[in-house]
Structure 1
Amino acid sequence: MANSKQFNVGVVGYGMSAKVFHIPFIQATPSLKLHSILQRSPKPNDSAPADYPGLQHHTSLDSLLADSALDVVVLCTTPPTHFAFASQALEAGKHVFCEKPFVPTSAEAAALADLARAKGKLLCVYQNRRWDADFATVSQLLREGTLGRVVEFETHFDRYKMEHPTNWKGTVPMEEGGGAVYDLGTHLCDQVYTLFGLPRSVYAKFVSQRQGKFYPSSDGVDPDSLTAHLYYDNGLTAIVRIGVLSVETQQPRFWIRGSKGSYTKKGLDTQEPQIKAGMAITDAKFGREGPEWAGKLALLGEGNSVSQTDLPNVEPPPTYAKIYEGFAKALASGKEEDVPVPASQACDVLRIIEAVQESGKTGREVQISS
């Protein structure tokens, strides 16, 4: 460690994930120091050494892990590499912060959790959308019981993208951590899990909206969209939807129905586009959206009358800085219980994703043991 208050952090990978979701927040966390970056093949117009000349730079994981000054490894690589890279980093005595979807299977997640404990190191998964402002608003509504007993919880990640992605999201097979369920479904399943825990069972359908084919199909199409129903013992149904051919000026995000009211929300959290547009994460506008994006809260009144009001997101909005602040706190305490998204929770989310996959392949409702 650099000193008693700062941990040296090495980032593995230098794509959008590293540039947008990790490096700005590492730099904004006082007890963390951006120490090194691994980029295998820097290019003239995409070069970590050129962008960060004062850091240590590496082109191999072996080289980065050999640095005894390094405390933490942040994995911003493709999902098929995560298990091997995280294992290697933990074996080298480094703490690990791994991008979602973590690893392809719950068995691999459990194995990494066991390895981290055996090595006395911390392992955190980057489920950043727990710190979306709209999700924080939803969490508050449910925590305060505003909607009464929730009977249906619908969560969307819809876009219009006719072009098939050429990065890992469109080239890595679903079985290896690619496709819609691992890219975006992991966020939605994690948010449902954070609110309600493990479901009793799952029923799911996959489809390639771009090709107009259901999955599985005879030509091996990899699905780009899905609808999954997660069933709970208390009668709650959570519906997870991902679509790539949604033509909307304001895409649906949440639709929650309860015994006392309902809440609808459109539009995605603003943090990612704000960072991509060059906004500093210290800007007063960061994480805040315009009033036209306020959610709609409908409440039951006397005589079964219904009133509807606009409901802006909570203030101040949480930001993705919170997950790094939480991880820094865990590093300082050395306690697994302080890790904001521990591997055990990521393992549970992967159990949901595995059930979604099994249901989509077999056409049957799949039970999940508690």
Structure 2
Amino acid sequence: MSGQVFHAPFLNLLDEFDFRAVVERHDPKAAERYPGVRSYKSVSEMLKDPELELVIINTPNVTHYEYAREALLAGKHVVVEKPFTATVSQARELMDLAQKQQRSLIVFQNRRWDSDFQAVKQVVEKHLLGDLIEAEFHYDRYQPGLSYKKHKEIAQAGTGTLHDLGPHIIDQAICLFGKPEKVFARIQTNRPEASVNDYLNIVLLYPSLTVTLKSSLLVREPIPAFVLHGVRGSFLKSRSDIQEVTLQGGKQPTHTGWGEEPAAEAGLLHIMTEDGKEIRERFPSPAGCYQEFFKGVYRHIRNGQPSPVALQDALLNMRIIDAALESSREQQVISL
């Protein structure tokens, strides 16, 4: 799904890339949609292709380390899906290897370019709420049964909601607020037949800001995905980016109005201005733009510009995940 939905359409569309090959072990279909794209039976076979410069690893979490390492050793630049790896030690090893090989290593965090998060980012960067007091981010679903993707339901390092949906909202917090001082968390398994965690409540403690990150697979009625309170007011925003749904429907990111949310999904901004005027109004979101991640990858590799997702951010994400697990296990606040 990830290759079909999140990567291939943009690699095919953007002039910066020449979409050449995929690994399809069983039923090669990529060439039906993208004529000329080669299909390989294995990663090792594909990595022997000297024309390939960049490889995207979008396999199950527990395999990220193995395939990213193999690609780096083959002299390829690498984009690897979140959550980077299954463990912090694996992440650090890959970072060291990328530096040794003089190759780029970038973690795919597409939710930075969701329309809803772009709206939140504007509110924060424009300081519309004044000094922030607290923020709460949700990424909830209602999936009481087990996933048809059986690898996601195996209890092992790198599986569960903490490593699936958790990295999205952890990264969004890092993107806006940087490194927290401390972490407190509760990680649970609530679905009757589940073996992996499916609920998380992570509290990131900053010097004067509290950020709560929540995700559950047992939320039937959605609530605002982003809630921010500051000394001058509040901002509420739904999770309403349409890019994934549009891509899953088979549409390519070429039509007019790409990534634009329905007007009804505009956020609610309620503030008091510096001159004492009360404002309560809808705050429309910028269009979502996953293509900006890929353009950033190109600029980083070709022109040496900063990575669209700094490796230190990706490593911090993994450290927060580890701290959350430790905090939940020990019922203690963990310092970073």
Give TM-score, length-normalised by structure 1. Answer: 0.86
Provide, for residues 38-61 of structure 1, a one-character-per-residue CA deviation record: whole Å limited to 9, x for no partner: 11121xxx7335444522211111
Displacement after TM superposition at 1:36 (Å): 0.6
Residue 267 of structure 2 is aligned to residue 295 of structure 1: yes
| Residue 24 (structure 1) aligns with | 9
| Residue 25 (structure 2) aligns with | 40
Question: 1:154-303 counterparts in 2 under 5 A?
Answer: 154-167=136-149, 170-173=152-155, 175-211=156-192, 221-233=195-207, 235-248=208-221, 250-300=222-272
Provide, for residues 65-86 of structure 1, a one-character-per-residue CA deviation record: whole Å limited to 9, x for no partner: 1111111111111111111111
Contact 1:203 1:228 in 2 (8 A): yes
Decide which of 329, 347, 352 is 2:320's aligned counterpart.
352
Displacement after TM superposition at 1:106 (Å): 2.0
In structure 1, how many angstroms separate the alpha carbons of the residues matched to 2:212 and 2:232? Answer: 20
In structure 2, how many angstroms separate the alpha carbons of the residues matched to 1:169 and 1:133? Answer: 30
Contact 1:169 1:183 in 2 (8 A): no
Paired residue type of 1:360:
S
Displacement after TM superposition at 1:304 (Å): 7.3
Contact 2:258 2:288 in 1 (8 A): no
Contact 1:139 1:195 in 2 (8 A): yes
Question: 1:111-122 counterparts in 2 under 5 A?
Answer: 111-122=93-104
Change (3 A) 1:159 1:282: same
Change (3 A) 1:300 1:168: farther
In structure 1, how many angstroms separate the alpha carbons of the residues matched to 2:72 and 2:213? Answer: 33
Change (3 A) 1:183 1:267: same
Displacement after TM superposition at 1:273 (Å): 0.5
In structure 2, how many angstroms separate the alpha carbons of the residues matched to 1:133 and 1:204? Answer: 28
Contact 2:159 2:196 in 1 (8 A): no
| Residue 5 (structure 1) aligns with | none
Paired residue type of 1:312:
P
Give 5+ residue unaligned stretches, structure 1: 1-15, 213-219
In structure 1, how many angstroms separate the alpha carbons of the residues matched to 2:16 and 2:25? Answer: 27
Residue 316 of structure 2 is aligned to residue 331 of structure 1: no
Paired residue type of 1:183:
D
Displacement after TM superposition at 1:92 (Å): 0.6
SS at match of 2:225: strand
Give TM-score, length-normalised by structure 2. Answer: 0.94
In structure 2, how many angstroms separate the alpha carbons of the residues matched to 1:278 and 1:94? Answer: 29
Paired residue type of 1:225:
Y
In structure 2, how many angstroms separate the alpha carbons of the residues matched to 1:125 and 1:28? Answer: 21
Contact 1:226 1:242 in 2 (8 A): yes
Contact 1:168 1:178 in 2 (8 A): no
Q: Equivalent pairs: percent with the same residue? A: 33
Displacement after TM superposition at 1:246 (Å): 1.7
| Residue 105 (structure 1) aligns with | 87
Change (3 A) 1:251 1:47: farther
In structure 2, how many angstroms separate the alpha carbons of the residues matched to 1:282 and 1:303? Answer: 44
Residue 155 of structure 2 is aligned to residue 135 of structure 1: no
Paired residue type of 2:173:
V
Paired residue type of 1:268:
S
Displacement after TM superposition at 1:141 (Å): 1.1
Decide which of 59, 63, 66 is 2:45's aligned counterpart.
63
Decide which of 308, 329, 332 is 1:361's aligned counterpart.
329
In structure 1, how many angstroms separate the alpha carbons of the residues matched to 2:298 and 2:83? Answer: 21
Displacement after TM superposition at 1:253 (Å): 0.8
Aligned residue-pair number: 336
Provide, for residues 110-153 of structure 1, a one-character-per-residue CA deviation record: whole Å limited to 9, x for no partner: 21111111111111110001111111111111111110011101
In structure 1, how many angstroms separate the alpha carbons of the residues matched to 2:33 and 2:272? Answer: 55
